[in-house]
């Protein structure tokens, strides 16, 4: 039986061999120079600026999406890997949580998935295998329990060797969460591909792999034009479309029905909005709504189901509820003096189109209500903002970067915590309150 030491040596040899093969396939490499985080006051700016870890919001089933890109790892001598990992030793408590935990701790209390882009891991920038073992041991049960899927993109023999090294440490249940993804297109089967922040180097590498694959699928697969929406469609269509087809409904039926149910059954549920639900079940409920058929959440017996449906509805709007023009204004909230932020948020909200304002006010009234029960449900305005921020606002082009999440979450937290002040003056006629 091959020993761990032999496996480690084999891994080192393998990554050097793969590096040589990649140089032949890819040609000269240009290391990324653009900074993902330009805020030098960020507590982990030295790590955050590389864009190694990105959080891009929820997938369509209520799970946070976290991306780790190996190609953005700088050479080992330029990055202290222990700044990337919080070693929770007593003599280090003054440092508190380091970057990976600083990032993940904001999201691992809820269900999440990880996409790991392996391309770009080289002998000069890879962490040591000892560090990887320490990393796995440092992440306690809450990180492993709430991780629902780990997608390893462009796996190599090095990955498989490392997996064998770790097998004695990894439970069978955790191992079942791992999925190897050979080409980027395969990710579409598992998650919302458009939400991914994919480094240009990874995109180019994927194209080269496909070009080198004899008799394989074309690098670019044409998708058929989308079908026109059904008259009863609820998901993936605009607020205006829903209102036109549901003339008596000021609030979209999905929002009003999920909020009504959650007000009755979910306000005191610990971790409400943090859990996901079975993917197929969410798809089935979406189909019922889109066909105009009745949905009874009573039959599912799980308050997390309507909670996920509510987030899914918001995320699938073609334009976010807060609208695209507001995005840059919200990003500027961090430059506003703290004492003036509530007033600024109020100004931004009042600039929304009337229908968006009505729906937002209805939703935020409910989230404020949830936050008032935070002693029991553990969902403070800050926690709710981490869940809902990226479902209320995203840019017209691309995904929300980890750096851009901070102002979005601050803005959303203010809307929830200071609901009465933010929504006090503007009350359009005919508004329906929850």
Task: Work out the mean pLDDT of the chain and round it to a whole number.
Answer: 78
At 20, is the pLDDT very low, low, confident or very high (cuts 50, 70, 90)? low
Return d(Cα 304, Cα 203) in angstroms, integer.
36
pLDDT given at position 149 = 86
pLDDT in tens, 177-193: 888 999 999 988 888 78
**CA angle 121-390-289, nearest 5°?**
115
State the DSSP string of 295-356: --GGGG--THHHHHHHHHHHHTSSS-TT-GGGHHHHHGGGGS-GGGHHHHHHHHHHTS-HHH
How far is C-alpha 318 from the geometric centre of its chain's CA atoms?
Answer: 18
Nearest to 81 by CA among 125, 136, 36: 125
Nearest to 370 by CA among 306, 416, 304: 416
Which residue ranges does the chain devote to CATH 3.40.525.10? 4-212
Lowest mean pLDDT across 196-205, 338-347, 412-421: 196-205
| The pTM of the whole model exceeds 0.75 | no
**pLDDT over threshold 50, residue 244:** yes
pLDDT in tens, 113-145: 889 898 887 766 666 666 666 666 666 566 677
SS3 assignment, position 114:
strand
**CA angle 434-64-390, nearest 5°?**
50
**pLDDT over threshold 80, residue 97:** no
**Contact (CB, 8 A) for 84 and 132:** no
The mean pLDDT of 352-361, rounded to a whole number, is: 96
- 4-212: what CATH class? alpha beta
Architecture of domain 239-422: Orthogonal Bundle (1.10)
State the DSSP string of 10-29: HHHHHHHHHHHHHHHHH-S-
Return d(Cα 1, Cα 301) in angstroms, integer.
50
Which residue ranges does the chain devote to CATH 1.10.555.10? 239-422
Backbone angles phi, psi at 151, to 5 degrees: -105, 120
pLDDT in tens, 260-276: 999 999 999 998 998 88
Distance in Å from the first CA to the final CA of the chain = 65
């Amino acid at each position: 039986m091959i020993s761990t030491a032999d496996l480690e040596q084999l891994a080192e040899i393998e990554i050097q061999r793969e590096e040589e093969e990649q140089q032949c396939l890819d040609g000269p490499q240009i290391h990324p120079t653009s900074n993902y985080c330009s805020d030098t006051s960020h507590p982990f700016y030295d790590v955050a600026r590389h864009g190694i870890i990105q959080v891009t919001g929820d997938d369509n089933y209520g799970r946070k999406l976290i991306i780790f890109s190996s190609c953005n790892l700088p050479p080992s001598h330029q990055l202290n890997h222990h700044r990337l990992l919080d070693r929770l030793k007593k003599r280090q408590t003054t440092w508190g949580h380091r970057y990976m935990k600083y990032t993940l701790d904001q999201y691992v209390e809820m269900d999440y998935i990880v996409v790991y882009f392996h391309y770009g891991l080289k002998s000069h920038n890879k962490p040591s295998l000892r560090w990887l073992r320490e990393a796995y041991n440092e992440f306690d049960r809450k990180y492993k329990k709430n991780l629902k899927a780990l997608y390893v993109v462009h796996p190599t023999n090095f990955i498989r060797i490392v997996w064998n090294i770790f097998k004695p440490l990894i439970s069978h249940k955790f191992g079942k969460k791992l999925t190897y993804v050979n080409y980027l297109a395969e990710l579409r089967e598992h998650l919302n591909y458009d939400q991914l922040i994919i480094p240009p180097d990874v995109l180019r590498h994927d194209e080269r792999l496909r070009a080198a694959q004899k008799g394989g699928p074309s690098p670019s697969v044409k998708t058929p034009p989308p079908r026109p929406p059904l008259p009863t469609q609820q998901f993936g269509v605009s607020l205006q479309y829903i209102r036109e087809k549901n003339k008596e409904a000021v609030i979209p039926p999905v929002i009003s029905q999920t909020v009504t149910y959650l007000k009755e059954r979910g306000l005191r549920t610990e971790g409400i909005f943090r859990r996901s639900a079975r993917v197929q079940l969410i798809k089935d409920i979406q189909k019922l709504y889109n066909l105009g058929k009745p949905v009874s959440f009573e039959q599912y017996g799980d308050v997390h189901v309507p909670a996920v449906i509510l987030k899914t509805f918001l995320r699938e709007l073609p334009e976010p509820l807060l609208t695209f023009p507001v995005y840059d204004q919200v990003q500027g909230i961090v430059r506003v003096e703290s004492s003036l932020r509530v007033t600024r948020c109020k100004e931004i909200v009042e600039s929304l189109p009337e229908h968006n304002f009505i729906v937002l006010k209805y939703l935020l009234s409910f989230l404020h209500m949830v936050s008032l029960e935070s002693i029991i449900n553990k969902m403070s305005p800050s926690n709710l903002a981490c869940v809902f921020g990226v479902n209320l606002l995203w840019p017209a082009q691309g995904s929300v970067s980890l750096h851009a999440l901070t102002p979005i979450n601050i803005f959303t937290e203010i809307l929830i915590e200071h609901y009465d002040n933010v929504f006090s003056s503007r009350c359009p006629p005919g508004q329906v309150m929850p």
